[in-house]
């Protein structure tokens, strides 16, 4: 348990250094410095109860809506953000959809060139 608390504290410090404030805990999904894991059991009725450190780390609280994706042998749980939460998130890029798309295309070309130069 001490290790998990230390990991959460370390993640928060990392996020602060990157410019994310404590009030924007959900922005941890945008910049992942580390992950944590912990064993949980499936209840008799099929319910999954993640322990408190996992809930705190992910920013998922009782009553939140989540999207669950099933793959063989695993479930992936993602929080569904409210409009208010989305509007409070830090802006990671500015411009029109077209200008952002152009920037992405240019970055892809640069990365492809770098990859080809390495081989």
User: What pLDDT, on the 0 to 100 scale, is given for residue 92?
Assistant: 72
The two three-digit tokens of residue 77, written as one number: 């749980």
User: What pLDDT, on the 0 to 100 scale, is given for residue 19?
Assistant: 59
pLDDT tens for the chain, 119 residues long, are 555 556 566 666 666 665 555 555 544 444 455 677 778 889 899 998 888 888 888 888 889 999 999 999 998 899 999 888 888 887 776 778 888 888 888 888 888 888 887 66
| Torsion sign across C-alpha atoms 35, 41, 45, 49 | negative
User: What pLDDT, on the 0 to 100 scale, is given for residue 1?
Assistant: 53
């Amino acid at each position: 348990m001490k290790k998990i608390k230390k990991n959460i504290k370390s993640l928060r410090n990392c996020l602060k250094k990157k410019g994310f404030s404590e009030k924007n805990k959900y922005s941890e999904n945008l910049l992942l410095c580390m992950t944590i894991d912990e064993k949980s059991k499936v209840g008799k009725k099929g319910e999954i109860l993640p322990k408190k450190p996992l809930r705190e780390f992910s920013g998922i609280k009782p009553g939140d809506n989540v999207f669950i994706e099933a793959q063989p042998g695993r479930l992936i749980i993602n929080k569904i953000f409210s409009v208010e939460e989305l509007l409070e998130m830090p802006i990671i890029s500015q411009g029109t959809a077209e200008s952002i798309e152009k920037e992405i295309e240019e970055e892809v070309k640069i990365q492809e060139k770098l990859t080809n130069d390495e081989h």
